[in-house]
Structure 1
Amino acid sequence: MTFTPLTGVIPPVCTPLTPDGEVDVPSLLRLVDHLVAGGVRGLFVLGSTSEAAFLPDRQRRLVVESVTGHIGGQLPVLAGAIDMTTPRVLDHVASVTAAGADAVVVTAPFYTRTHPAEIARHYRAVAAASPVPVIAYDLPVAVHTKLPADVVLELAADGVVAGLKDSSGDLAAFRQVVTGVRERRGITGFSVLTGSELIVDAALAIGADGTVPGLGNVDPHGYVRLDGLCRAGDWEGARAEQERLCALFGMVSVGDPARMGPNSSAIGAFKAALHLRGVIDCPATAQPQIPLSPDEVEQVGKHLAAAGLL
Structure 2
Amino acid sequence: MNTLTGVVPPVCTPLTPEREIDVPSLTRLVDHLTDGGVHGLFVLGSTSEAAFLTDRQRRLVVETVTRHVDGRLPVLAGIIDMTTPRMLDQAHAAATAGADAVVATAPFYAATHPAEIARHYRLLAAGSPVPVVAYDIPAAVHTKLPAAVLLELAAEGVLAGLKDSSGDLAGFREVVAGVRADPGITGFSLLTGSELFVDAALALGADGAVPGLANVDPHGYVRLDRLHRSGELGRARAEQERLCALFGMVRVGDPARTGPSASALGAFKAALHLRGVIDCPVTAHPQTPLAPGEVEQVGKFLASAGLL
| Shorter-chain TM-score tier | over 0.9
User: Which residue in the other structure is 2:199 paired with?
Assistant: 201
The TM-score, its normalising length taken from structure 2, stands at 0.99
Answering whether residue 42 of structure 2 is matched by residue 40 of structure 1, we say no
Cα RMSD, aligned residues only: 0.5
Could you tell me how far 1:233 is from its partner in structure 2? Answer: 1.1
Equivalent in 242, 257, 264 of residue 259 of structure 1: 257
Equivalent in 110, 122, 125 of residue 123 of structure 2: 125
- Deviation by residue 1:122-146 (Cα, 9 ceiling, x = unmatched): 0000000011110000000000011
Could you tell me how far 1:292 is from its partner in structure 2? Answer: 0.3
User: Which residue in the other structure is 1:237 paired with?
Assistant: 235
User: Which residue in the other structure is 1:216 paired with?
Assistant: 214
User: Which residue in the other structure is 2:307 paired with?
Assistant: 309
Query: Could you tell me which amino acid in structure 2 is paired with residue 50 of structure 1?
Result: S
Once residues 284 and 173 of structure 2 are traced to their aligned partners in structure 1, the CA distance between those partners, rounded to angstroms, is: 35
Answering whether residue 173 of structure 2 is matched by residue 175 of structure 1, we say yes
- Deviation by residue 1:216-273 (Cα, 9 ceiling, x = unmatched): 0000000000000110111110110000000000000000000010011000000000
User: Which residue in the other structure is 1:91 paired with?
Assistant: 89
User: Which residue in the other structure is 2:105 paired with?
Assistant: 107
User: Which residue in the other structure is 1:24 paired with?
Assistant: 22
Partner SS for 2:166: coil
User: Which residue in the other structure is 1:188 paired with?
Assistant: 186
Could you tell me how far 1:103 is from its partner in structure 2? Answer: 0.1
Could you tell me how far 1:184 is from its partner in structure 2? Answer: 1.3
Could you tell me how far 1:63 is from its partner in structure 2? Answer: 0.2
Could you tell me how far 1:185 is from its partner in structure 2? Answer: 2.6
Partner SS for 2:102: strand
Structure 1 window deviating more from structure 2 (226-235 vs 250-259): it is 226-235
Once residues 295 and 57 of structure 1 are traced to their aligned partners in structure 2, the CA distance between those partners, rounded to angstroms, is: 34
Equivalent in 9, 12, 17 of residue 10 of structure 2: 12
- Deviation by residue 1:183-233 (Cα, 9 ceiling, x = unmatched): 013100101000010000000001000000000000000000000011011
Using the aligned pairs only, state the percent identity: 78
- Structure 2 counterparts to residues 126-165 of structure 1, below 5 A: 126-165=124-163
- Deviation by residue 1:264-299 (Cα, 9 ceiling, x = unmatched): 100000000000000000001000000000000000
Query: What stretches of structure 1 of length at least 5 have no aligned partner?
Result: none
Query: Could you tell me which amino acid in structure 1 is paired with residue 215 of structure 2?
Result: N
Partner SS for 2:77: strand
Answering whether residue 255 of structure 2 is matched by residue 250 of structure 1, we say no
User: Which residue in the other structure is 1:73 paired with?
Assistant: 71
Once residues 259 and 84 of structure 1 are traced to their aligned partners in structure 2, the CA distance between those partners, rounded to angstroms, is: 28
Partner SS for 1:94: helix
Once residues 83 and 186 of structure 2 are traced to their aligned partners in structure 1, the CA distance between those partners, rounded to angstroms, is: 28
- Deviation by residue 1:135-184 (Cα, 9 ceiling, x = unmatched): 00000000001100110000000000000000011110000011000101
Query: What stretches of structure 2 of length at least 5 have no aligned partner?
Result: none
Answering whether residue 292 of structure 2 is matched by residue 272 of structure 1, we say no
Once residues 170 and 44 of structure 1 are traced to their aligned partners in structure 2, the CA distance between those partners, rounded to angstroms, is: 21
Partner SS for 2:104: strand
Partner SS for 1:65: helix
Aligned residue-pair number: 308
User: Which residue in the other structure is 1:289 paired with?
Assistant: 287
Partner SS for 2:197: helix
User: Which residue in the other structure is 1:62 paired with?
Assistant: 60
Query: Could you tell me which amino acid in structure 1 is paired with residue 28 of structure 2?
Result: R
Once residues 89 and 204 of structure 1 are traced to their aligned partners in structure 2, the CA distance between those partners, rounded to angstroms, is: 30
Query: Could you tell me which amino acid in structure 2 is paired with residue 67 of structure 1?
Result: V
Query: Could you tell me which amino acid in structure 1 is paired with residue 158 of structure 2?
Result: V
